Amino acid sequence: MAGGILWFTHLSIKSINIYKYLIEKLRVQPVDIIIFAAIMATLGFQVLLQAFEQLIKDDPLEHMNSNQLLCCM
């Protein structure tokens, strides 16, 4: 998702004539950075919530076998 946002930002800036609309290019970049940072912070917070839920649960987790571990590497 983050890559898609950066790609869209790159395309939108690329299509602007920088000699005619230089100020608009400078206005778009901070907004995209703020949106990107907000999305990444939300995703990080969601990962932390899921990690705490797994720690609090009483159910034991399934262990990965050696094939699954090799696949992850």
- Enclosing domain of residue 50: 29-58
Asked, for residue 24, whether it belongs to a domain, the answer is: no
* Domain presence at residue 71: no
pTM score of the predicted model: 0.47
Which of 9-13, 15-19, 35-39, 55-59 bottoms out in mean pLDDT, i.e. has the lowest?
A: 15-19
Could you tell me if residue 34 is inside a domain?
A: yes
What would the pLDDT profile of 27-61 be if each residue is shown by its tens digit? 667 777 888 889 999 999 999 998 888 888 877 66
Residue 22 pLDDT > 60:
no
Q: Is residue 63 included in any domain, yes or no?
A: no
Tell whether 19 is covered by a domain: no
Burial 38-68 (b: 16+ CB within 10 A, else e): eeeeeeeeeeeeeeeeeeeeeeeeeeeeeee
Residue 72 lies in a domain: no
- Total tally of structural domains belonging to the chain: 1
